[in-house]
Structure formats: structure tokens, C-alpha cells
Amino acid sequence: MRFENKIVLITGGNRGIGLAAARLFAGQGARVMLTARDQAKGEEEAKRIPNAKFVRGDVSNAEDCRRVVNESLNQFGGLDVLVNCAGIIFRNRTVEQTSEEEWDATFDVNVKGAFLMSKHAMPFLRERKGCIVNVASYVGLVGFANTAAYAASKAALVNLTRTMALDHAREGVRINAVCPGSVETDMIHEAWKKFGDVEQAKRMWAEKHPLGRIARADEVANAIAFLASDEASFITGVALPVDGGITAA
């Protein structure tokens, strides 16, 4: 029960990696607030998790971020862990092929969302010497063709993580990131569907990873939980690859 008496807020908590993290934290004793835009899906998932609640919110909207943080405090009485997991991607886009709207939407969710949530959560995290885990990507650590806005946004999130870690270290607030390789969630299924042959696409994606497969969402959740736990008490400012070895090459 590593997270007994801990209160955890997870953006992007109604699906994929965020949902896997919510299940893991709750299974280890935490009270968990999930947030995302799809209310029906969020409420359905929260009902299945002990000690979890859902509040609707769009992380690109400052007022929503403030309300989501306040709702966590109202429901549970504090905040120990913020997981910034909400994210979007536009694939198959070089800079030339990326519209200004796609660029802005990507940065609004993947970077500004983490900024706004962290900004509103920080006073409460400081009170309880809590921590933040940002969900970046291995493409925030290395270049990756045809995802110009997404790769740039994840690199920005990695350096926001490092900078926030320095700014808040003396206050006892740790800030880290995980950098997943490919993970089997709705996000990647969309890419496989666009590719055409889903099974072939899955094999190709797996082949890119030295471990020869893609990750399950719970494998990324394990790394998020580790960074949020007391076992990581002397770790801050890291961007931890959870990528089957892809950035080792």
C-alpha cells in the first residue's frame, strides 16, 4: 500500500496510460481524481475504481484547470501527486504539412495543459511536499520524423520538467517525467488503423523497439508510480525512458 493516505490527480485519466495509472495508484491505497473531457467515459471508469472520482475538464483551458484542482481538494482534502498525462498527436506531419491550428492545439494540450495544471496544483503540492509526474515521450528525447508538433511539444515538456524540478526542489516538491516508447492504447490504434493493415502495423511498430514489442499501459503506469513513490525520494528532474530500449540505440 505505497500510496495509503495519498491523493492523486491524473489528467487524461479516463483512457490508456492515465487510466492504467489510476488503477495502480488506487490499488495501492490512493484516493484518485481522474479528469479528461469525455465525461461519460470518465464517470464509467471512475465507478469501477475504488476511491476514485471523475471531474470533467479540458487541460488547455485555464479556468477548467483551476476548477479541477479545486474539486480534488474539495472531494479529498489535499493533493500529493499530480500526473500530467493528457496528450494529443497529429501524425504524418512535417512542418510544411502541419497547420497552425494543429501546432497550437498540440502545444495547448501537451505543454500548456501541464503548465496550467502544475501552476494551480503547486501551492497544494508544496503544503504536502508532493510531486508531479509528466507523461512526455521518447520523441521528446530524440528527433522523430513526421510528427513535428508532437515531438517539439514533448521536448518542451521534458525541459519544463527539468526547470520546474530546479525551481521547486528546495520546497520539497519533486518533478519528473516518463518518456514512453510505443504503448498499446487508443492513441496508437488510431495510427495503426490509418496505416491500413493493423496487424502488420503492430509488428512494424514492435520491431522498432529493441525489446521487440510495444509496451502495455500498465508498464508505463509502473514507472509513473515509482517516480511518485517514496522509493524515488532522491529523484527529481529526470526524464525516464520507458521505451523498450529505443533511445539506447
Ligand X SMILES: NC(=O)c1ccc[n+]([C@@H]2O[C@H](COP(=O)([O-])OP(=O)(O)OC[C@H]3O[C@@H](n4cnc5c(N)ncnc54)[C@H](OP(=O)(O)O)[C@@H]3O)[C@@H](O)[C@H]2O)c1
Is 36 among the residues that bind ligand X (CB under 6 A)? yes
Q: Which of 106, 161, 176, 182 binds ligand X (CB under 6 A)?
A: 182
Question: Distance between CA 55 and CA 214 in Å, rounded?
Answer: 31
Is 239 among the residues that bind ligand X (CB under 6 A)? no
Q: Which of 79, 85, 125, 165 binds ligand X (CB under 6 A)?
A: 85
* CB crowding 154-170: b at 16 or more within 10 Å, else e: bbbbbebbbebbeebee
Smallest distance from the beta carbon of 138 to ligand X, in angstroms?
7
Contact 240, 138 (CB under 8 A): no
Question: Distance between CA 19 and CA 34 in Å, rounded?
Answer: 8
Smallest distance from the beta carbon of 182 to ligand X, in angstroms?
4
Give the cell for residue 227: 517516480
Is 12 among the residues that bind ligand X (CB under 6 A)? yes
Judged by beta carbon, residue 117 or residue 165, the one nearer ligand X is 117
- Is 138 annotated in the active site? no
Is 22 among the residues that bind ligand X (CB under 6 A)? no
Stretch that binds ligand X, among 54-62, 71-79, 124-132, 227-235 (CB under 6 A): 54-62
- How many residues at the interface with ligand X, by CB under 6 A? 27
Q: Which of 2, 37, 119, 213 binds ligand X (CB under 6 A)?
A: 37
Contact 132, 164 (CB under 8 A): yes
At 87 the three-state DSSP class reads coil
At 187 the three-state DSSP class reads helix
Cell numbers 521534458 correspond to what residue?
Answer: 158
Judged by beta carbon, residue 14 or residue 176, the one nearer ligand X is 14
What does the DSSP assignment read for 11-71? ETTTSHHHHHHHHHHHHTT-EEEEEES-HHHHHHHHHTSTTEEEEE--TT-HHHHHHHHHH
Is 183 among the residues that bind ligand X (CB under 6 A)? yes
Question: Distance between CA 227 and CA 36 in Å, rounded?
Answer: 22
Q: Which of 9, 16, 65, 130 binds ligand X (CB under 6 A)?
A: 16
Stretch that binds ligand X, among 30-38, 46-54, 193-201, 224-232 (CB under 6 A): 30-38
Quick note: the x/- pattern for ligand X over 141-180, rule CB under 6 A, is ---------------------------------------x
Q: Classify 44 in phi/psi space as left (phi over 0), alpha (psi -120 to 50) or beta.
A: alpha
Pick the catalytic residue: 3, 107, 138, 150? 150
Contact residues for ligand X (CB under 6 A)?
Answer: 11-12, 14-18, 36-38, 58-60, 85-88, 109, 135, 137, 180, 182-183, 185-188
Active site residues: 150
